[in-house]
Structures are given as structure tokens and as C-alpha cells.
Structure 1
Amino acid sequence: MTLLEARDLRVEFASRGRRARAVDGVNLAIGAGEIVALVGESGCGKTTLARTLLGLERPVSGSVVYGGAPLDYSSRALKAYRREVQLVLQDPTGSLNPRHNVYEAVAEGPRIHGLTDERERVLSALSRAGLRPPERFLLTYPHELSGGQRQRVVIAGALALDPRLLVADEPVASLDASVRGEILALLMRLRDELGLSALVVTHDLGLAWNIADRVAVMYLGRIVETGPVEQVLTSPSHPYTQALLSVLPESPAPVVLAGEPPDPTRIPGGCRFHPRCQVLASGDAARAGVDHACRSEPLAVLSASGGSQVACHYAGVRESLP
């Protein structure tokens, strides 16, 4: 069952007299009890898409659909929605008020939503987040905790509202390597024990491999490849996905992309990746007879179906070969 879905979502911002198409036609579905990784380099639109799914940004077109109904942007409806769809930010230190102890930090959500049994909710959330015994942490302040413990407090603050879905924006990027695995294991355990869904926003394909059921690769405002995580990461079809994977330690050789980082105010014609594409630069696209299409023919927006899909002229030709 689909819990949260983006349907042809488009988000724009004014930038130096031009319009930046931060999200430029995205279809993405997250099922109940499913973890989806949204990956891509900085500036590709991942965080804007996540904020739009949370109702923090309003799309210029398309819609966010939750539980089968389009998102209602009235204050009352958004408050109810955000109890069920909670955000976990990258920097736990910046997320926590240094003047609030752990109890106050975790109790903030239940107080905003007027929930009863506040203390029981706080204790239960801390315990589920792996801070045990929870009573030991109640009067502790953020500066007295390790980075991993602070991130667990942030997660506990979300769990105190009994959400159905977490949107985690780079949830382990600011943590030591020794702690990252613990937080990822916690997210997977919450999925298994509570049926919690999650959208994990990251630039790290290694993280996606370890935690996600499905992966969506985003470039310049649009998803260019999507599918089951094992299939996409073991047999990537899009040259951009191949380049992202090439920087992992076990990769034989990194792919160095040509050209400038993408500018959402100047989206190129044809395939939006073609100015930096290693397949086009190497001549492989010309030998396959698709170099003109790469430069001039736009690709269709990928659907939100659960199967493997890729937006690439060269990949389409290669798949059709015997």
C-alpha cells in the first residue's frame, strides 16, 4: 500500500532574476513499511523534494498525496499531517535547543499536539530510540551527550508522536563512522518492529545499499534512475548512477565528470545530464547512434511504479540489443 506519493511534482524559486527549477517533474511513492533512499550530489533537489513532501514548500504544480488524498495546506491539516510524517535532520546539535534537557526536547512534540500521558510517551520514545534506561537521560543536556546519543534524542522526539513515516535528511552525515552503523540499524529496527516507513535523503550510495528497499537517483531536479536497491546498485544503467557508484572504495576506478555542477536555472536541452556525461564524451553514445538524441531529445518523466526505470537514451538502446 502506498503511504506517501509525489505526483509530477514541480517546485521553483526565484534566483538572480531567473526561475530555478529545483524539482522539475518528480514521481515518487513510498509504501507502508518501506525504506526508500533518495540519492544524488549536492544541489540536485533532494532536500527541496523532502521539504515539499513534508508540506514545508508548496509545489507550483503536481501534488503530494498522503493516504490516498492530496495534501491539505491549511494550518490545522498540516499540523495533523506532520504528526504522522516526521522530519529527522542531519545535524543533531543544531536540532536540539542547548537550554532544554532531553525530557523537554522529546516532550516538545506531544505538547504542541496536546497529547496526554506525556511522561510515558517520552520514556517509551527514548527506549525505542536505544537510550536505555530512559530515566537516566531525562535531565541530561545535549552538550553532555555524544553525537550518536544526540541523534537518538532527535529520533526519539519524532517517535514520541507515533508517526507512520520518517523523512531523514542525511541522518548520519555528521556522525563518526563508528556510530553511523548503529543509527542505520536503529532505523531498520524501527521499520521491522513498528512498521515505520522512511525516506532517507543522502549523497552516499553505500548508505542506501545498507538500509533501503528501493533507491531513486536524482539529478538536476528529476529522478533519472529508480528501482530495487540491489538491482540499481549492482547493475546501474544511468551514467550518472555509475559515476556516483565509482567513488565507493570497492570500485575499480572513479569516473570524473566533465563540465560544471548543474544549474537549476539553466537546464540543458535533451538529456539534462548530457553536458557532463562520460558515455557521450567517450564516443560510446555516438557509436550507438544516440548522441544527437542525447543532446536534443528530452526524456520522459519516470513513473512512481516499483519496477526498475532509467531516463537515458543510451541505456534504452543498450537494453534493446540482443
Structure 2
Amino acid sequence: MTTTASGPSAPATTAPLLSAAELRVTFPGRRGAPAARAVDGVDLDIGAGEIVALVGESGCGKSTLARALLGLVEPTAGAVRFGGRPLAYGSRALKAYRKRVQLVLQDPSGSLNPRHTVYDAVAEGLRVHGYAGDERAAVAAALSRAGLRPPERFFLRYPHELSGGQRQRVVIAGALVLEPELIVADEPVASLDASVRGEILALLLSLRAELGLSALVVTHDLGLAWNIADRVAVMYLGRIVETGPVEEVLTAPRHPYTQALLSVLPESGAPPVVLTGEPPDPARIPGGCRFHARCQVLASGEAERAGVAHRCRTADPPVLTGGSAPQVACHWAAARAES
């Protein structure tokens, strides 16, 4: 048994707002090279009003998974469902979907047109979707919700006249103006000063409290996940390797990869785990556990002592299921749970 849980999970009372099932995204290789398996079998659920953090190193497939969930990339296999219905990829269906699910990018300077005023930047979504109401009132309400008050003071300002935190609030207002049910925030505070990061995270939490907004926060920063998420999904080389409530995963991580990511946080108190080498090429994913070539537990002999070293090198743990139950795709963690 390679997928474990700390105990029986409570039965789900409602269907997830957004879910992915057996999702795969591959990109063809050049000149006959093998295809890159950027997302290699992912199940992920996001409930109404829930904040899920998707964490992992650069290149692990986080952003590709987010783009697939947004409908920006059509999956090679598997399905995305929103509100219980499969995502359709026709232009009209995607336009309607993107009104309900909005993207917030990490670099507000790159996502805001320097020639557009704040008013035009926020109103753009309304115009694309043919909004028939009071545009000025909608823009003002979105800016106010994003913490830019009084909103009229920002209408005619340009991005270069704003601070980094204010620009990120404009980006968030541009997403909020369409009154979405879920936002996908890709490294939403990565480009901000430490003093501003907390303000933006507090804003996202307040939006969840006030609007019932759901969010998928894509980040490499486990500290950010701790501060904002209800649940965390740790991704490595195209697959989720550990998931569960954020307090449980980040205080008692079971996968060696999660342990390594946590060990470099200053507040962890543990000696940092230095992983050998770089993540493998997604076009050449190794056999067995995809982490085994870098795994500190296998390298130290602990997996051998637990009797699972051969399985680590030869048997691929199964895809973790969606839902909120704590799970880990690790032969060694499973052996420890059973002993």
C-alpha cells in the first residue's frame, strides 16, 4: 500500500467546485525526442470557499497544471470539472468559464499594460464579456474590495505611478470585477517586498471570508502555504506526492521531498536537507518512485532498513486521489505507517 492516510476521512457533503481527474499534459519533443510529461497523472479537488496551495520546485509542473485547470492548456488525458460539469474547450464555453475562474499572475508589472490607466485595466474584463451594468460602479467596487480606497483616486493613474503592492491590488481587482467563484494565483507575492506580502495574503483571506471565494495558490514557498492555505498539495516531477490539511502536512511531513522542502525554512529548526542533482527531465522520468534518484531516505539506507529500497527503485506509487484526506505517495512512508 503506497497511498496512506492518517485515518478515515469524513464523507464529502458537497461536490468540489473544481476538480481534476487523472490529468495529464504532455508536450511533444523536438526532432523525435520523447514527449515531456509536464503533468503526469494528477487528481486534485478544490472545494467552495477553500484555499489550496500547490507547492514544489520550479519546473515540477505547477504552472502547467494551473493553466490546464484554467482551460489555457487542453489536457492530453483526463478531465477538468467545474461545478460538477466537464470543462468544454469551445471558444464560447471557455469564455463563460473564465468569467467564473480568474487568473492572478505573479508579476503585476508584466500583466498590466503601462499605457492603460487603472480604470481601463480593471474594466477590460467587463468589456471583453459584454457587461451591461454600470461599468464605473463595478470598477469602483472591485478596486475597493482590493483595498484601493477611495477607488476614484486611482482611476486615472498609470501602473508606473503605483507601488508594487498597489499594482498587485489592481491585478486582483481586475480578477474580482467579474465576480468569479475561484481565482488561480500564480506566485501572487513572489515579486513583492516582505512588508507588502503579508498585506496581500491578508487581502486574499479577507476575500474568502467576505465573498466565499475559492483559490488555488501556486507557490514554491511553503511559508506562504502555511499562512494562507487550508490544504496543501506538494508536486514533484508532474505528480502530487503528498497532500492534506496544511497544519498536518507542514508539521508532520511524511514524504522525503516535503521534508526536504520544509528543512530549508528558517523556522523549521531542523538541519537543511540538500537534495542531490536537479529534478529529472520530464521527458525522461525515471522508473520506480520518480523521486528515488534524489531521495535522502534511500541514500541514507533508511529505505533499505525498512525493506522497501527495491520497491523505491522499481515500483511507481499510484496517483493520489482527490479530496481532503491526508495522503502520501511513498513506499517508505507507507511502511512506517504499517509498522
SS at match of 2:124: helix
Q: Partner residue of 1:272?
A: 290
Matched, 1:284 2:276: no
- Bigger Cα displacement from structure 2, 111-120 vs 81-90: 111-120
Matched, 1:210 2:227: yes
Distance apart, 1:18 and its partner CA: 1.7
Matched, 1:155 2:172: yes
Q: Partner residue of 1:23?
A: 39
What is the aligned counterpart of 1:222 among 239, 251, 254? 239
What is the aligned counterpart of 1:93 among 106, 109, 128? 109
Looking at structure 2, the residues matched to 250 and 162 of structure 1 have their Cα atoms a distance apart, in angstroms, of 37
Q: Partner residue of 2:5?
A: none
Distance apart, 1:263 and its partner CA: 1.0
Q: Partner residue of 1:12?
A: 26
Tell me if structure 2 keeps the 8 A contact 1:43–1:262.
Answer: no
Q: Partner residue of 1:145?
A: 162
Distance apart, 1:259 and its partner CA: 2.7
SS at match of 2:68: helix
Tell me if structure 1 keeps the 8 A contact 2:237–2:279.
Answer: no
Q: Which one-letter code corresponds to 1:148 in the other structure?
A: G
Q: Give the number of aligned pairs.
A: 321
Matched, 1:303 2:311: no
What is the aligned counterpart of 2:271 among 253, 259, 281? 253
Q: Partner residue of 1:114?
A: 130
Q: Partner residue of 2:17?
A: 3
What is the aligned counterpart of 2:100 among 70, 76, 84? 84
Matched, 1:128 2:138: no
Distance apart, 1:15 and its partner CA: 2.7
Q: Partner residue of 2:57?
A: 41
Tell me if structure 2 keeps the 8 A contact 1:39–1:201.
Answer: yes
Q: Which one-letter code corresponds to 1:8 in the other structure?
A: E
Looking at structure 2, the residues matched to 107 and 114 of structure 1 have their Cα atoms a distance apart, in angstroms, of 11
- Bigger Cα displacement from structure 2, 252-261 vs 70-79: 252-261
What is the aligned counterpart of 1:198 among 198, 202, 215? 215
Provide the alpha-carbon RMSD of the alignment.
0.6
Q: Partner residue of 1:53?
A: 69
Distance apart, 1:260 and its partner CA: 2.8
Superposed CA offset, 1:3-39 (max 9, x none): 0000100000023322000000000000000000000
Distance apart, 1:258 and its partner CA: 1.3
Looking at structure 2, the residues matched to 283 and 8 of structure 1 have their Cα atoms a distance apart, in angstroms, of 33
Q: TM-score, normalization: structure 2? A: 0.94
Looking at structure 1, the residues matched to 29 and 153 of structure 2 have their Cα atoms a distance apart, in angstroms, of 49
Distance apart, 1:151 and its partner CA: 0.2
SS at match of 1:285: helix
Identity of aligned residues (%): 76
Looking at structure 2, the residues matched to 44 and 280 of structure 1 have their Cα atoms a distance apart, in angstroms, of 21
Looking at structure 1, the residues matched to 47 and 323 of structure 2 have their Cα atoms a distance apart, in angstroms, of 11
What is the aligned counterpart of 1:188 among 205, 228, 243? 205
Q: Partner residue of 1:102?
A: 118
Looking at structure 2, the residues matched to 88 and 54 of structure 1 have their Cα atoms a distance apart, in angstroms, of 11
**4+ runs deviating over 4 angstroms:** none
Looking at structure 1, the residues matched to 295 and 186 of structure 2 have their Cα atoms a distance apart, in angstroms, of 27
Name stretches of at least 5 consecutive residues in structure 1 with no aligned partner.
none
Superposed CA offset, 1:157-189 (max 9, x none): 000000000000000000000000000000000
